[in-house]
């Protein structure tokens, strides 16, 4: 029987612990620290995600502030908003919901977020530090994936991990984190040749493609650990999990696997930032 890597349960348990940590932080600071979320435009999926993040903050007693900006916002206007939040002492974390409208230089905006407030791990410097194994906030989904693998005691050192996808927020950072844990890592993308053959050599497969049931059961070997980061319409992952369950040793379900760990990792890092502020460690 394959082990279910249950992200929902782990996220719930972590929230209970975070509630206690937030109470202590509030006592020390004398005010409620805030996660500021910037939403540009009104993309329905982004609106839903931003509201889910605000609710998660409220559940653990952390403050949340949603800054809503027009679809026509310019890069400079967004940079000015980020500067204001960078300078607001009560804001201990800043999240810029992406994607942003095309006229905006998203990378410039991500890189404007102070490292000490980059709780979604999107700043290029955060990525660089994390890749070097140094202290930095980590992109939320990759951090969630590593936390779930560690929680369930999945052996990583010496294993061959194949990451399918190389986005800046998911594929690349999760590959670096797995490498830091001494996996041998192969990163695949849309130009990769013989993808099924490469996936067949994997002890751990991370699906981060954005295509429903893209990774097939005959691409994976017996005993593989499957991490499905995909979240496609209809709650469908990037791996054909249904047909892989009899072959794999462990898997993250969709929904209830990687998804809940993403928001949970965001709020965990927000609490870590608030603790650093309260302990004067910034
Ligand atoms: P993305 O930016 O669109 O990146 C997709 C990656 O998949 C790219 O690197 C692309 O390669 C690669 N790819 C596309 N077609 C491929 C093919 N035929 N063969 C091999 N590789 C292929 O997507 P993302 O933001 O990383 O998200 C990936 C998935 O994770 C989506 O389902 C998304 O919904 C999900 N996600 C979930 C969460 C969560 O909280 N659960 C968070 C973030 C993302 P190229 O680089 O060559 O184009």
Domain residue ranges in the chain? 30-124, 140-258
Q: Can you tell me which atom of ligand 1 is nearest the CA of 232?
A: 32
CA of 81 to the centre of ligand 1 (A): 29
CATH class in words for 30-124: alpha beta
- 30-124 and 140-258 share one CATH topology? yes
Give the pLDDT confidence of 171-181 residue by residue, as tens digits. Answer: 999 999 999 99
Give the pLDDT confidence of 73-91 residue by residue, as tens digits. Answer: 999 999 999 999 999 999 9
For the whole model, what pTM was predicted?
A: 0.97
What DSSP state is assigned to residue 31?
Answer: S
Query: Residue 270: its pLDDT value, please?
Result: 97
> Which residues lie with the beta carbon below 6 Å from any ligand 1 atom?
141, 164-167, 169-171, 188-192, 195, 208-211, 229-232, 238, 258-259, 262
CA of 258 to the centre of ligand 1 (A): 14
The packing angle between helices 171-180 and 140-151, to 10°, is: 40
Q: Can you tell me which atom of ligand 1 is nearest the CA of 230?
A: 32
CA of 259 to the centre of ligand 1 (A): 14
Judge contact between 53 and 95, C-beta under 8 A.
yes
Judge contact between 85 and 67, C-beta under 8 A.
yes
Q: How buried is 34 (Cβ within 10 angstroms: 0-12 exposed, 13-18 middle, 19+ buried)? A: buried
Q: What is the pLDDT along the chain (282 residues), one digit of tens a residue?
A: 999 999 999 999 999 999 999 999 999 999 999 999 999 999 999 999 999 999 999 999 999 999 999 999 999 999 999 999 999 999 999 999 999 999 999 999 999 999 999 999 999 999 999 999 999 999 999 999 999 999 999 999 999 999 999 999 999 999 999 999 999 999 999 999 999 999 999 999 999 999 999 999 999 999 999 999 999 999 999 999 999 999 999 999 999 999 999 999 999 999 999 999 999 877
Given the residues 8, 65, 88, 120, select the one marked as catalytic.
120
Query: Residue 282: its pLDDT value, please?
Result: 74
CA of 211 to the centre of ligand 1 (A): 7
Q: Can you tell me which atom of ligand 1 is nearest the CA of 191?
A: 47
* CATH code, residues 140-258: 3.40.50.720
Instruction: Of 158, 167, 213, give the one whose Cα is nearest residue 188.
Output: 167
| Ligand 1 pocket mutation pick from 98, 107, 173, 189 by most atoms within 8 angstroms of CB | 189
Query: Residue 280: its pLDDT value, please?
Result: 85
Known catalytic residue: 53? yes
Give the pLDDT confidence of 94-116 residue by residue, as tens digits. Answer: 999 999 999 999 999 999 999 99
Query: Residue 212: its pLDDT value, please?
Result: 98
């Amino acid at each position: 029987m394959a082990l279910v890597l249950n992200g929902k349960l782990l996220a719930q348990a972590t929230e209970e612990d975070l509630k206690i940590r937030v109470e202590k932080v509030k006592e020390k600071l004398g005010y409620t620290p805030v996660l500021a979320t910037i939403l540009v435009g009104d993309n329905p999926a982004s609106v839903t995600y931003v509201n889910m993040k605000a609710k998660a903050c409220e559940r653990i007693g952390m403050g949340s502030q949603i800054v809503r900006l027009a679809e026509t916002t310019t890069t400079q206007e967004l940079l000015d908003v980020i500067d204001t939040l960078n300078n607001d002492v009560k804001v201990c974390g800043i999240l810029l919901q992406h994607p942003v409208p095309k006229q905006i230089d998203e990378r410039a905006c991500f890189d404007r977020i102070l490292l000490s407030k980059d709780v979604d791990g999107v700043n290029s410097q955060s990525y660089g530090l994390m890749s070097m194994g140094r202290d930095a906030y980590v992109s939320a989904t990759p951090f969630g994936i590593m936390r779930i693998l560690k929680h369930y005691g999945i052996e990583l050192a010496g294993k061959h991990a194949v990451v399918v996808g190389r986005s800046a927020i998911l594929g690349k950072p999760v590959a670096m984190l797995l490498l830091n844990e001494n996996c041998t890592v192969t990163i695949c993308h849309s130009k990769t040749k013989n993808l099924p053959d490469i996936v067949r050599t994997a002890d751990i497969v991370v699906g981060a493609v954005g295509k429903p049931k893209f990774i097939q059961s005959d691409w994976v070997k017996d005993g593989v650990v499957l991490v499905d980061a995909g979240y496609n319409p209809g709650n469908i992952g990037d791996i054909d999990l249904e047909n892989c369950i009899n072959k794999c040793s462990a898997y993250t379900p969709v929904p209830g696997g990687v998804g809940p760990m993403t928001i949970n990792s965001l709020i965990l890092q927000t609490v870590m930032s608030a603790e650093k502020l309260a302990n004067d460690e910034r």
